[in-house]
Amino acid sequence: MHHSPEGTTYLNYPKGLMSWLVTLDHKRIGMMYLASVLFFFFVGGVFALTIRLELFTPEQNLLTADQYNQAFTYHGVIMVFLVIIPMIPAAIGNFVLPLMLGAKDVAFPRMNLASYYIFVAASVMAVATMFFGGVDTGWTFYTPYSTQTQTATTLMLCAAFVAGFSSIFTGLNFMATVHKLRAPGQGWGQLPLFVWAIYATSVIQVLATPVLGLTLALVALERVAGVGIFDPALGGDPVLFQHFFWFYSHPAVYIMILPAMGVINEVIPVFSRKPIFGYKAMAAAIFGIALVAFAVWGHHMFTSGQTALVNMLFSLITMFVAVPTGIKVFSWIATMYKGSIHFDAPMIYAFAFLFVFVIGGLTGVVLATLGADIHFHDTYYVVAHFHYVMVGGTLFGFMAGLHYWWPKFFGKMFNSFLAKLSAVLILIGFNVTFFPQFILGIQGMPRRYWSYIPEFTALNQLSTIGSFVIALGFFLALGYLTHSFFFGKKAGSNPWRALTLEWESESPPPLENFRFDPVVTHGPYEFKGERV
């Protein structure tokens, strides 16, 4: 039943460009996602640097006010819909999830390929808007502005709608895969926590994304057909849009962070040579976060005219998110306690994740507090908070995962020293960029403006300098990873001595993943007698 010839890998068998473009292999599709996501990360990053350059001084430096609006819209839309959301599940998860389950592929390989091409179509549409007048609504498409602006917003709405279906199909596929394609001996209690995290993410993707899809369709219909659902002139209600939008987009925040937590769940026990602390509590916490995610959307609308009672309830429920999150953070720390810690690049990123994510999380509690939020709403405090969670959380989790599974992806090792150096550069650059923004926010600098009062200049300049340190760190990563791809040392099947199934196959794995039928005989984190 194992068809691929001895000595071939998924990278070189079958051969030819066409075999890649129509591949049904989850590993190849994952790598195609990875390439696309990294490309759009670069594009979104260029927009970010452009924004930071404009904000280097209060004067107009290189963008007009309208161009600035477009720049932060593209930065937001590209980073959210084309980078952060698919980054871990669709790219890394696609590759790793079936391997971790001992499966030959995802449940529906053709649907998986369709997801990828739907994603590509959405990306093309999103990029095409740049040539039809651009988009200036921000990534949130708030009505009534989004129904009135004369920019290419309709096309961008369609792009986000289409991207949503890619996300739904991926989530559906992963759920069915976890339900039905686990290896013999692998019950739910033997699943690696990365699988739990991807699974919970998928639940959110399947349940929340359709609401966003239809809502964006309504905004598009509003623009082309004047249906009036969100238009007060026709009896509609713009605040209803906010409810619909955040019903998806708050859970979407957990679509972004849960997979990153999943990566950290794998990295910390492996590099501490210790079983994960509180496996069941960790799995439950993942689901706790996913569940609470659906009941907190109103905290984006404290200033949108909800009643005081509703505000209080959303504030309270939002603080509940801190409970499962706290369980996870303390369990990670407890896992490391008395462990034999190895400081390889994935672990450095895991440390960076913990450090930065805790700041992002705690400032989230501050924002959930009603009185404080009225002051912080739409200031740089919010910008700093969600960058600490999305960049510090998701992106650092992604980088941890990229380095952790890189040897499995390509069968090559990377330069460990340069990897650590780049991780440290990115961590420092990140904090230099975004910590000043907390202070700016507290001092009242509003978000989404191309200028500011002169008193804010010093902190903004610090922030801009930090953003270029981040860029330097990523270019360094691009350098040594490219070098590793072509000239890296052979990795061997299990360079990190991990216990999950993907490491039992070769690096890189062959078509259909395993040359034997994998059976699970031990838990994913049962490290024994290895403490030094």
Partner 1 sequence: MAGSVDTEGFKEHHPAHHFKDADHEFFTVKNGMWLFMLQEILFFAPLFVAYFTFKFIYFEDFQYSAAKLDWKLGAVNTVILIVSSFTVVRAVVAAQRGNNEGLIENLIYTIICGFGFMIVKAIEYSSKIADGVLPGAWMNNAALVEAAPQAPLFYSLYFMMTGLHALHVAVGIGLFAWLLLKAKRRELGPKYYTPLEMTGLYWHFVDLVWIYLFPLLYLVG
Q: Which residues of this chain interact with partner 1, rule CB under 8 A?
A: 1, 3, 103-105, 107-109, 111, 168, 172-173, 175-176, 179-181, 206-211, 213-215, 218, 221, 225-229, 231, 234-237, 240, 244, 512
Query: Which residue matches tokens 């360094």?
Result: 476
CB 221, min distance to partner 1, A: 7
Tokens, residue 185: 């001996």
Closest CB 241 distance from partner 1, rounded Å: 10
Q: How far is the CB of 205 from partner 1 (least distance, A)?
A: 9
Of 44 and 164, which CB lies nearer to partner 1 in the complex structure? 164
CB nearer to partner 1: give 175 or 283.
Answer: 175
Question: How many angstroms separate the Cα of 358 from the Cα of each of 328, 353, 354, 382?
Answer: 11, 8, 6, 15
Residue 1 or 308 having the CB closest to partner 1 = 1
Cα 266–171–178 angle (5° rounding)? 60
**Residue closer to partner 1, measured from CB, 167 or 190:** 167
Give the nearer residue to partner 1 in terms of CB position, either 2 or 420: 2
Kindly state the smallest distance separating residue 422's Cβ from partner 1, in Å: 37
Cβ proximity to partner 1: between 136 and 512 the closer is: 512
CB of 409 to partner 1, least distance (A): 20
| Torsion angle (degrees, nearest 10) of CA 465, 471, 472, 473 | 110
Residue closer to partner 1 (CB basis): 120 or 207:
207
Q: State how far Cα 228 lies from the chain centre.
A: 34
For the chain, give the longest Cα–Cα distance. Answer: 71
Q: Which is nearer to partner 1, 237 or 446 (CB)?
A: 237
Nearer to partner 1, 235 or 371 (CB): 235
Find out whether 405 and 94 touch, Cβ atoms under 8 Å: no
Spatial contact of 143 and 222, defined as CB atoms under 8 Å apart: yes
Q: Report yes or no: 347 and 273 within 8 Å, Cβ to Cβ.
A: no
CB neighbour list of residue 178: distance below 8 Å, 6 or more residues apart: 97, 101, 191, 195, 198, 199, 202
- By the 8 A CB rule, do 255 and 201 touch? yes
- Could you please report the per-residue DSSP string of 264-331? HHHHHHHHHTSPPTTHHHHHHHHHHHHHHHTT-GGGG-TTTT--HHHHHHHHHHHHHTHHHHHHHHHH
Residue type, 301: M
| Choice between 246 and 271, CB closer to partner 1 | 246
How far apart, in whole angstroms, are the C-alpha atoms of residue 439 and residue 4?
57
Cβ 314 to partner 1 shortest distance, Å: 17
Q: Is 115 helix (H, G, I), strand (E, B) or coil?
A: helix
Instruction: Please say which residue, 53 or 181, places its beta carbon nearer to partner 1.
Output: 181
User: Exposed, middle or buried: residue 138 (CB in 10 Å: 0-12, 13-18, 19+)?
Assistant: middle
Cβ of residue 499: shortest distance to partner 1, in angstroms?
A: 24
Q: Which two tokens stand for residue 212?
A: 């966003």
Short-list 146, 154, 156, 145, CA closest to 220: 154
Shortest distance in whole angstroms from residue 105 CB to partner 1: 4
Q: Which is nearer to partner 1, 129 or 153 (CB)?
A: 153
Q: Indicate the angle between helix axes 322-336 and 279-293, nearest 10 degrees.
A: 150
For partner 1, the closer CB: 105 or 344? 105
d(CA 509, CA 505): 6
In this structure, what DSSP letter does residue 450 have?
S
| φ, ψ dihedrals at 412, nearest 5° | -125, 150
Smallest distance, Å, CB 83 to partner 1? 23
Nearest distance from residue 70's CB to partner 1, in Å?
28
- Is the distance from CB of 219 to CB of 236 less than 8 angstroms? no
Count of residues making up the chain: 532
* Residue with smaller CB distance to partner 1, 187 or 371: 187
Q: Least distance in Å: CB of 176 to partner 1?
A: 4
Q: How far is the CB of 206 from partner 1 (least distance, A)?
A: 5
Q: Could you tell me where the DSSP H helices lie in 149-237? A: 153-180, 193-225
Q: Is 93 helix (H, G, I), strand (E, B) or coil?
A: helix
Shortest separation between residue 313's beta carbon and partner 1, angstroms: 18
Q: In whole angstroms, how close is the CB of 228 to partner 1 at the nearest point? A: 4
